[in-house]
Amino acid sequence: MADTRITPATEADVPLILEMIRGLADYEKLSHAVTATEDQLRQTLFGPRPAAEVLLAFHDNECAGFALFFPNYSTFLAKPGIYLEDLFVKPHARGKGLGLALLTELARLAVERGCGRVEWSVLDWNEPSIGFYKKLGAVPMDEWTIFRLTGDALLKLGSTKAS
């Protein structure tokens, strides 16, 4: 891993971040769902209220992976946590330790920030990633189901006055 480097992303890295997002979406067969633009990423990641942080993984001076994450909170632990939204390594760079390096740096940040846990989701069919995560000691939360409110349903509920 001597030729691997993990760095926090800066505003100048927005084109690389969008490239990584598109690569992840392609891998997950969800390219059609990506509507993000460089301007939106610049505003939401580096504007007045950044919504998330990004780590970039470089191998042989090529940006070959990323992790995008944001804080969450555990009421049971009464501690902050980190939610890993996206982790992606370009196919040609897999097996070189970049995913491990990204998760190691994320875990280091979580410990440094006093977090009680790091959480993420993985698609059920992504067996290579599931195996990788289990080898790290991560455990699936099989008793939990993720719900999502988006699009028209979000707009409808969000425009309703609470009673």
Question: The pTM is what?
Answer: 0.93
Give the pLDDT confidence score for residue 56 in this predicted structure.
98
Instruction: Identify the residue whose tokens are 């969000």.
Output: 158
Q: Which of 27, 73, 83, 133 is catalytic?
A: 133
> What digits encode the pLDDT tens for the residues 28-56?
999 999 999 999 999 999 999 999 999 99
- Domain parsing of the chain, residue ranges: 4-158
Has 73 been annotated as catalytic? no
% of the chain with per-residue pLDDT over 70? 99
For residue 96, is it left (φ>0), alpha (ψ between -120 and 50) or beta?
alpha
Reply yes or no on domain 4-158 having CATH 3.40.50.300. no
Distance of CA 19 to the CA centre of its chain: 14
CB 66 within 8 Å of CB 56: yes
Quote the CA–CA distance of 18 and 98 in Å, as a whole number. Answer: 18
Handedness of CA 56, 69, 133, 116 (dihedral sign): positive
Q: What is the pLDDT of residue 155?
A: 95
End-to-end, the C-alpha distance of the chain in Å comes to: 56
List beta partners, residue 116: none
Task: Give the pLDDT of residue 1.
Answer: 52
For the chain, what is the mean pLDDT?
Answer: 95
